[in-house]
Structure formats: C-alpha cells, structure tokens
Amino acid sequence: MLAKRIIACLDVRDGRVVKGRRFLGLRDAGDPVERALAYRDDGIDEIVVLDVSATLESRLANRRTIEAIARALDVPLTVGGGVREIDDVARLLDAGADKVSINSAALARPQLLSDAASRFGSQCVVISIDARRDANGYAIASHSASRPYARDPFDWARQAQTLGAGEVLLTSIDRDGSREGFDLDLVRGVSAAVSLPVVASGGASTPESFASVLQAGADAALGASIFHDGDARASDVKRACRARGLTVRP
C-alpha cells in the first residue's frame, strides 16, 4: 500500500535555510545539511529544497548547497528555484536532485514541461503552483508570489498534467508560514482536477493538520516552520496520521 508522505521543505537563500510568512519577511532557520539530516532522522519521507531568491535574481538554484544536501541524504530530494530551460533540469539532477520543481518558467513557456518529461520522464517533473484566494475563487502567481496571473490553479494543474508533469507541489500563498492549517478547499479542487499525486503546502500548524489535508485528498503534506521551530517532528505527525487510519511509512 502506497504510504502518504510527510515532507519537510527547506527554503534556502545564500546557503542558509530561511522562512518567511506569505513569502515575505525571511528569517534564518539554520544550516540546510544539518536540518535535512535531522529531519531524516525524525522519519521525514522526503526533502524539498527551494532556492527562494533564484528566479527573482535570474539564476539557477545554488549548486553547492544542493550538492552538499544530496551527498549526505538517503531519502528523496526535490529541488526548485530558477529553472528556466531543459539544461537547468539536467544541471539540478547532476547536482544530486531526484526531482525538479518548475514554477515561473512553466507559466511563461508551458512547452518546457513536455520537453523535460520526454527527456527525464514525468516522474521527475514537478509542477509547482502557488495560489491565493481572490473574489472569484483562486488565482495563481509566479516569481515567489510577486506576479499575479488571472488564471485558476485547477485549470493550470490540468494543463500541466497534459503537458507531462508528474506531480503537483501546491502552495497556498495565504497560508504560507501562517500556521493556520492547510487550505483544504484548494487541495480538494486540485486533487479532483488531476490524476497526479498532489503535495499540499502552506499552513501546517499541528500534527493533526497534516492528517486533515491528507484525508482531504493530498498524497503528501509538506511543512517548513512547524519543523524548523521544533513544534512538531515527523514522528509526531505520523502518529497523528496513524490515529486517523492513514498509511504512513514506519
């Protein structure tokens, strides 16, 4: 039976883990390799590393940071930040990533998803979607949530699937760093729109909040601040999931 995944996200900038709220006000949260290994020891199922200033600075995610994490880690590693072309995907894989997450560049040029999938396989291509509530429902944004698009995340997720993406990393901009719980409506909507695995991100508050979003249809749930601040460990989250009858890796 496929287990639901608990993922820790390391937002990195200048070789350090940082975390803000609603993508703003970044503060230091430690050394990326130390954090990744500590979370691995706590039973985390996967690590996501996002270089949060890469796209804004028009560069690819920091190779040295990725290599250091990848060399030490023995659970899956997804990397995102500043991917603009197919060779960037190759570069991140070569730095040790197992999956590569693409956000802004896929919105600008959706063909990038199909090019990446036909070379590396869909299982390696993650479409990262940042969305916030608006008067009409939900709308997406790119460039670390700084550029709004008049487009809903459900339609974009469907198109990304058709193009060849193999997983959706879905972040609620409103809930990012808020500790208010995941946006369950957003996750339900995207899970229903696609047949890809969906990773829910933004708003992790308690171990039970992970269980709730997994029950709402997410295949994996991702936390950052909750783990960085030591308010819960992966083992606590898994205990809460088991108590609700969810299958998680021992």
Instruction: Say how far apart CA 68 and CA 23 lie, in whole Å.
Output: 25
Q: Which of 11, 51, 88, 152 is catalytic?
A: 11
Q: Is 51 a catalytic residue?
A: no
Site string for another protein, 208-247 (x = CB under 8 A): -----------xx---------------------------
11 is catalytic: yes
Residues 162-201 as x/- pattern, contact with another protein by CB under 8 A: ----xx---------------------------xxx----
Q: Report if residue 74 touches another protein, rule: CB under 8 A.
A: yes
Give yes or no for a contact between 156 and 147, defined as CB atoms under 8 angstroms apart: no
Which is catalytic among the residues 130, 174, 176, 236?
A: 130
Residues 109, 55: Cα–Cα separation, whole Å: 15
Q: Does 38 bind another protein (CB under 8 A)?
A: no
**Closer of 230 and 250 to another protein (Cβ):** 250
In eight-state DSSP terms, residue 123 is: G
Strands of the chain, DSSP E: 5-13, 16-21, 24-28, 46-51, 77-80, 99-102, 125-134, 137-142, 147-148, 167-172, 198-201, 220-223
- Distance linking the first and last C-alpha atoms of the chain: 13
List the structure tokens of 3.
């287990």
Binding mask 51-70 for another protein (x = CB under 8 A): ----------------x--x
Q: Which residue has the tokens 């997406």?
A: 140
Question: Which chain residues interact with another protein by CB under 8 A?
Answer: 1-5, 40, 45-46, 67, 70-77, 90, 93-99, 117-124, 166-167, 195-197, 219-220, 249-250
Q: Which residues are catalytic?
A: 11, 130
